[in-house]
A and B are shown apart, each in its own frame.
Chain A
Amino acid sequence: QQQVKQSPQSLIVQKGGISIINCAYENTAFDYFPWYQQFPGKGPALLIAIRPDVSEKKEGRFTISFNKSAKQFSLHIMDSQPGDSATYFCAAIPYNFNKFYFGSGTKLNVKP
């Protein structure tokens, strides 16, 4: 049973557009929600993370929107660039349990 469901599986966006990736979870014990970016042949790199006490967090062109009641969170990449082309993973960690549950990933392709 997948603890974190991620969509879409792949995404094509034009340069300058907005990329939106969604994740949903069921376990209400999750209290930390990071997003990771992974390039081919590399390990995942932390992009941005949020806790459930806030509904939105913005860092540069990256924004997490969090809906606690719906148990959903999403990553928005504003002004998408070809260099953003990578696979993005959402993840969740339960309270007091340092173990990540990852989504299945979204392969983003930003067309120039």
Chain B
Amino acid sequence: DAGVTQSPTHLIKTRGQQVTLRCSPKSGHDTVSWYQQALGQGPQFIFQYYEEEERQRGNFPDRFSGHQFPNYSSELNVNALLLGDSALYLCASSLPADDEQYFGPGTRLTVT
């Protein structure tokens, strides 16, 4: 049973560029959440997708957007990258009625 997978593993972008990160949830899970983890900090909730719609959102600007596909996989898009967007981006999957979330290994984004 595959767990949560994310791609790519690492990414280097230049300030002002746009980036797309991808996540495949754990088998059987239909809810995907995205988190940003700055170095030495705890993960911060970005948003959550269920039934292809954004269900909840944290305190992140509109530059952060997402999408969920019919197969429950998800993308996180970040426009107009800032140096402060450098972080580990984590995807977590769950069932809608279940509090347990399973995290992927993350995508390390570096903005130069």
Residue of B nearest to A103 (CB): B42
In the complex, the answer to whether A98 meets B106 with C-beta atoms within 8 Å is no
Q: Mark B17-37, 1 if CB is under 8 A from A, else 0.
A: 000000000000001010100
> What is the interface size of chain A, counting residues whose CB is below 8 A from a CB of the partner?
23
**Cβ contacts under 8 Å, A91 to chain B:** 42
Q: How far is the CB of B47 from chain A (nearest CB, A)?
A: 9
Complex interface: stretch among B67-75, B76-84, B93-101: B93-101
Q: A43-B4, A43-B103, A93-B99 are in contact. Are A102 and B44 (CB under 8 A)?
A: yes
The one of A6, A42, A97, A99 in contact with B105, judged by C-beta atoms closer than 8 angstroms, is A42
Q: How far is the CB of A46 from chain B (nearest CB, A)?
A: 6
**Cβ contacts under 8 Å, A99 to chain B:** 33, 45, 48, 56, 58
Q: How far is the CB of A89 from chain B (nearest CB, A)?
A: 5
Chain B interface residue bracket vs A? 20 to 34
Q: How far is the CB of B5 from chain A (nearest CB, A)?
A: 10
The one of B45, B48, B55, B104 in contact with A43, judged by C-beta atoms closer than 8 angstroms, is B104
**Cβ contacts under 8 Å, A6 to chain B:** 42
Decide if A104 is an interface residue (CB 8 Å cutoff). yes
Decide if A34 is an interface residue (CB 8 Å cutoff). yes
Q: How far is the CB of B99 from chain A (nearest CB, A)?
A: 4
In the complex, the answer to whether A49 meets B40 with C-beta atoms within 8 Å is no
In the complex, the answer to whether B105 meets A105 with C-beta atoms within 8 Å is no
Decide if A45 is an interface residue (CB 8 Å cutoff). yes
In the complex, the answer to whether A98 meets B48 with C-beta atoms within 8 Å is yes
Decide if A62 is an interface residue (CB 8 Å cutoff). no
Q: Which residues of A are at the interface with B, using a C-beta cutoff of 8 A? A: 6, 32, 34, 36, 41-46, 49, 89, 91, 93, 97-105
Known: A98-B99, A100-B33, A102-B42. 11 other contacts (CB 8 A): A32-B99, A34-B99, A41-B105, A42-B105, A42-B106, A44-B43, A89-B43, A93-B99, A100-B43, A103-B42, A105-B40
5 A-B pairs with CB atoms under 8 Å apart are A6-B42, A44-B90, A49-B99, A98-B33, A100-B35
